Structure 1
Amino acid sequence: MKQSEIIGLSTAELQVKLAELRKAYQDLTSAHAISPIANPLQIRGARRAVARVATELTKRELQ
């Protein structure tokens, strides 16, 4: 997700999206541990997407 898309979402939507992204990241890492996935860069992208959404949620809580 791009940062502009993340900013446009409400806090509730961000929390749902964060749960989805964390689940996807967990699935990718477990699949890669069992047998190497075709594109391991997906793991990095998923991790960074989780970080972007979590950062935006934290930013909103502090305001």
Structure 2
Amino acid sequence: MKQSEIKNLSLEDLRDKLAESQKQLTDMRMAHAITPLENPLQLRAARKVVARLLTAITEREQESLVENGK
């Protein structure tokens, strides 16, 4: 998932995508522990997607706090 796609999502959608991405990452880690993945770089890409989503969620929450504080 690219940053441009993340910008267009609402906060609730971001949280849904985050839960989905975290589950996918966990499943990939389990599968990799049992049988190595064909492309282990998928783990890195999945971690980065989770980090992007977490960053976007934090930014949105901070923006809403600032807006509510004014």
TM-score class, shorter: over 0.9
Residue number in structure 2 paired with 1:56 = 56
- Where do 1:1-63 residues align within 5 Å? 1-63=1-63
Provide the TM-score with structure 2 as the length reference.
Answer: 0.88
Identical amino acids, percent of aligned pairs: 54
Provide the TM-score with structure 1 as the length reference.
Answer: 0.97
The aligned length equals 63
Q: What is the letter of the counterpart of residue 52 of structure 1?
A: R
Distance in 2 of aligned mates of 1:37 and 1:8: 32
Question: Cα offset for 1:35?
Answer: 1.1
Distance in 2 of aligned mates of 1:56 and 1:39: 27
**Gaps in structure 1 of 5+ consecutive residues:** none
Distance in 1 of aligned mates of 2:9 and 2:61: 14
**Gaps in structure 2 of 5+ consecutive residues:** 64-70
Bigger Rg, which one: 2
Question: Cα offset for 1:56?
Answer: 0.2
Q: What is the letter of the counterpart of residue 4 of structure 2?
A: S
